[in-house]
Amino acid sequence: MHAMPRAVGGPAAVGRLRSVLHDLDSELLARQVARDLRGAPVGRIAAHGCQAGVMEDIIRRSLELVRNWLLSGQEPDGGVLSDLYEAAREAARHGLAAEDVIRACCAAARAVRSTVLEAGSPEGGGVRLLPHLDVPWAFLDVALTTVTRAFADQRDLPSADGNSRAATLFARICARSATSIEDLDRAERLGFRLAGPHCPFVAAIDGGSAAAHAGLAARIRSAGALACAEGHRVAGLTGPGFDWAGFLADSALILAAESAISDAGLADAVGDLHDLVTLASRDGRRGRIRVDDFLTELMLANSPRLAEDIVRRVLGLLDAEDPSGTLSQTLRSLAAHGFNRTAAAVALPAHRNTLLYRINRIEKLSGLDLDLHAHRELARLAVVWRDTVGSEVPARHE
């Protein structure tokens, strides 16, 4: 058992520690740590089964465990650790390696320690708190045991053979890191031609498990490409002319692939492909998906601040003044039918006079004139983005 160390600075130091810990925003800190840990680019539109969300959950739980341990002075018991255990098993189901989860726990412990130290007073408050900050390192002993047991118990754990090597190399290429001897060794072991040009891709199997995606990544690697499973996605790079025909024979496959692109644009291109697969999956599309299929959504995803400004401009007062959503639904129907009022009235359904009354309210609240093409386009963009991300707009991952 690891107990809270005796305070060197007396009650004042303990009080300072408690104040800092109570003020710690674990949600915000978890997002920051997850962003810093992210090796390969991801999309900006939230997707089901995304590894990024699983990693953030591990980090958040770890932050809370360290904070509560510091506040109580008591090592977490089995009941509390069961949450971390289940989160680790979920990570295993999403295809993460045990090393990735342990790395997330380490990052969380380090983040709490740094936060407390940075909050120490210039007169040495941080130094007086140092004995307490052995707790984050003690947490790592507990986390290592818990994560190792969770992965051992997860029987359906996908094979990680080659995947970790591919994931590391993929992330380094996207980050434009200088080629190292280790990179050359990874590429040789994988049979991947490190010299460009590179063609990025993201693929998903509709309804497929993490194990199925690990298998898909292995098959793509065996065909000479760089591919790594990312939970319920596979992402990577091919050379020009890569033959996707055999993979596309699977009717459940969703594939978004770019032609050859410079390394400077790889990260953005991969993010767009992640978004494209997400949009296609939501729309029930299968097979090869192209940018043109969801061009408006992708343009908005690449300018999220502008997209949210448009939503606020068009739908802000409508949401505030009409909680029932009748006006926003009416605007959605108008946009879907090219602002043909007769078609929109039939689809709602609503009497034509009722529709005219609603349009008048929409225009009054939003300041739009729906007879003007530019205002109609603003309304259409607002509706598209609201339908794409719902009520929450994701922050762009820089």
Average pLDDT of the segment spanning 171-186? 90
**Poorest-confidence range of 63-72, 195-204, 354-363?**
63-72
Task: Please answer whether residues 75 and 69 qualify as being in contact, where contact means their C-beta atoms are separated by less than 8 angstroms.
Answer: yes
3-state secondary structure of 253: strand
Q: What is the pLDDT of residue 263?
A: 81
pLDDT in tens, 80-89: 788 888 888 8
Measured distance CA(54)–CA(346) in Å, rounded: 43
Residue 113 pLDDT > 50, yes or no? Answer: yes
Which range, of 12-16, 69-73, 242-246, averages the lowest pLDDT?
12-16
Average pLDDT over all residues of the chain: 83
What single DSSP character describes residue 261? B
Is-contact 255 288, C-beta < 8 A?
yes
> Which CA distances in Å does 132 have to 2, 6, 9, 61, 135?
11, 8, 11, 20, 6
pLDDT of residue 160: 55
- Do 153 and 38 touch, CB atoms closer than 8 A? no
**Please, are residues 294 and 276 in contact by the beta-carbon 8 Å criterion?**
yes
Lowest mean pLDDT among 18-27, 255-264, 276-285, 350-359: 18-27
- Residue 227 and residue 234 in contact, taking contact as beta carbons nearer than 8 Å: yes
Residue 177: DSSP 8-state: P
Share of the chain above pLDDT 90, in %: 43
What's the predicted TM-score (pTM) here? 0.71
* Cis peptide, bond prior to residue 41, ω within 30 of zero: no
pLDDT digits (tens, 9 = 90+) for 299-346: 999 898 999 999 999 999 999 999 999 999 999 999 999 999 999 999
Alpha-carbon span 171 to 93, nearest angstrom: 21
